[in-house]
Chain A
């Protein structure tokens, strides 16, 4: 008797985004990194009306579920949840900490979900980081067709604290999306 999904539609922009949403950690923190990118459709056009959400463990790989800290960051426990609407050019960004690996076998990654007009249900993916030795042995990356594996790995973008991860919903270079 599960309630079925419906699209988030085009008009969530005044309701769901909030000021602290993209700032899982303040940009001035020495361990802050920037994750940014675009959400693109099957024609390569950017989506100006998508909502990107992320959920990540802390820098030590621990899942932090203490109450609070996501809607109002200040004076609250660290929450690994972030939300950012795309801008007119389809771009999103998050200031976050590089996550630690969840266990001995896996490479560090951030869990990401995208909602948009035209998406009748969300897409889920993982954002891995470039140059991580554990990427070679991560169980999920190992099971992905090598031709598509790179769609799950962010790219260095300018400096060592900035990464780019584009989400291609369809077509050439379509991002690998996950089912659970």
Chain B
């Protein structure tokens, strides 16, 4: 199977030029150790009751289009990965992050932080309630805009199985112009980061829904020799 991931060096995304490792990666001859084949196990008691609902973290309702985002976390064989921590963060409906270094001239929303956490259930399912994020400009090149996206961090079973990525929305006109999205060489792999509209999960009079499954890489085989 070809490597689905982008290379470290992708010059169209300028920040990679001085940050991409230049030396080849080293594969341990004996394979990964027990610590690299395992990972932290998080507990429900460590999360807040509203951590998964980004629309309920303040006194009022955030501005924007309320959406439900659901999906499953599985391994490449389709087996669910239960009880794994999924973390999300995103811009608000106007395309503004609450982050201190964010300079985009768009309004903050006092009722929206844009960060959430949940654990997958026994079938590997996750669910967030949030606001559809806006596109935003960035300084990579003249008139550069990021397609709307939600950042995801997923732990999986092993420290080395970790995935940090971004979920995009269908039919975004900014796709052809985004060097981060296009850093993934394979078109089919890029498309796997685009969620689908999910009529079945919409709630009448309340929210639209999107569905996006996450497939983690295989846990490397433990050395048996």
Q: Are A178 and B27 in contact, CB atoms less than 8 angstroms apart?
A: yes
Q: Are A143 and B28 in contact, CB atoms less than 8 angstroms apart?
A: yes
Among A55, A67, A174, A180, contact of B23 (Cβ-Cβ < 8 Å): A174
Q: Are A12 and B10 in contact, CB atoms less than 8 angstroms apart?
A: no
CA distance A123 to B35 in the complex (A): 16
Q: Are A11 and B21 in contact, CB atoms less than 8 angstroms apart?
A: no
In chain B, positions 1-44 with a C-beta closer than 8 Å to chain A are 1, 4-8, 10, 13, 15-23, 25-36, 38-43
Q: Does A106 contact B (CB under 8 A)?
A: yes
Contact with B along A157-180 (1 / 0, CB 8 A): 000000000000111001111111
Q: Are B35 and A57 in contact, CB atoms less than 8 angstroms apart?
A: yes
Q: Are A143 and B29 in contact, CB atoms less than 8 angstroms apart?
A: yes
Among A41, A65, A170, contact of B38 (Cβ-Cβ < 8 Å): A65
Q: Are A1 and B192 in contact, CB atoms less than 8 angstroms apart?
A: yes
Q: Does B45 contact A (CB under 8 A)?
A: yes
Q: Are A139 and B46 in contact, CB atoms less than 8 angstroms apart?
A: no
Give the Cβ gap from B134 to chain A, nearest Cβ, in Å. 13
User: With contacts A118-B13, A177-B25 known, is A13 near B40, CB below 8 A?
Assistant: no
Q: Does A89 contact B (CB under 8 A)?
A: no
CA distance A110 to B6 in the complex (A): 26
Q: Are B30 and A140 in contact, CB atoms less than 8 angstroms apart?
A: yes
Q: Are A14 and B99 in contact, CB atoms less than 8 angstroms apart?
A: yes
User: With contacts A4-B4, A16-B87, A177-B21 known, is A10 near B99, CB below 8 A?
Assistant: yes
In chain A, positions 49-73 with a C-beta closer than 8 Å to chain B are 49, 55-57, 63, 65-72
CA distance A43 to B19 in the complex (A): 9
* Residues of the A chain whose Cβ atoms lie less than 8 Å from the Cβ of B159: 55, 111, 113
User: With contacts A68-B46, A120-B6 known, is A55 near B165, CB below 8 A?
Assistant: no
In chain A, positions 1-21 with a C-beta closer than 8 Å to chain B are 1-16
Number of residue pairs spanning A and B whose beta carbons lie under 8 angstroms apart: 231
Q: Does B193 contact A (CB under 8 A)?
A: yes
Stretch from A29-37, A74-82, A129-137 that touches the partner: A74-82
Q: Are A5 and B89 in contact, CB atoms less than 8 angstroms apart?
A: no
Stretch from B62-70, B124-132, B214-222 that touches the partner: B214-222
- A interface SS class: loop
* Residues of the B chain whose Cβ atoms lie less than 8 Å from the Cβ of A13: 99-101
- B interface SS class: loop
CA distance A174 to B21 in the complex (A): 7
User: With contacts A67-B42, A68-B42, A71-B46 known, is A4 near B5, CB below 8 A?
Assistant: yes
User: With contacts A118-B18, A177-B25 known, is A15 near B164, CB below 8 A?
Assistant: no
User: With contacts A42-B18, A169-B20 known, is A66 near B41, CB below 8 A?
Assistant: yes
Q: Are B13 and A170 in contact, CB atoms less than 8 angstroms apart?
A: no
CA distance A127 to B128 in the complex (A): 36
Q: Are A170 and B39 in contact, CB atoms less than 8 angstroms apart?
A: no
Residue ranges of B at the interface with A (Cβ–Cβ < 8 Å): 1, 4-8, 10, 13, 15-23, 25-36, 38-43, 45-47, 76, 83, 87-89, 91, 97-102, 113-115, 151, 153, 159-160, 162-166, 180-181, 183-184, 186, 189-190, 192-193, 213-217, 220
Residue ranges of A at the interface with B (Cβ–Cβ < 8 Å): 1-16, 41-43, 45, 47, 49, 55-57, 63, 65-72, 76, 79-81, 102-103, 106, 111, 113, 115-124, 139-140, 143-144, 148, 169-171, 174-180
> Could you list some 5 contacts between A and B, CB below 8 A?
A7-B180, A11-B91, A11-B99, A12-B151, A63-B35
Kindly list 8 other residue pairs between chains A and B, CB separation below 8 angstroms, not including A15-B89, A71-B46, A118-B17: A5-B165, A6-B181, A11-B89, A42-B18, A69-B43, A120-B8, A120-B16, A178-B28
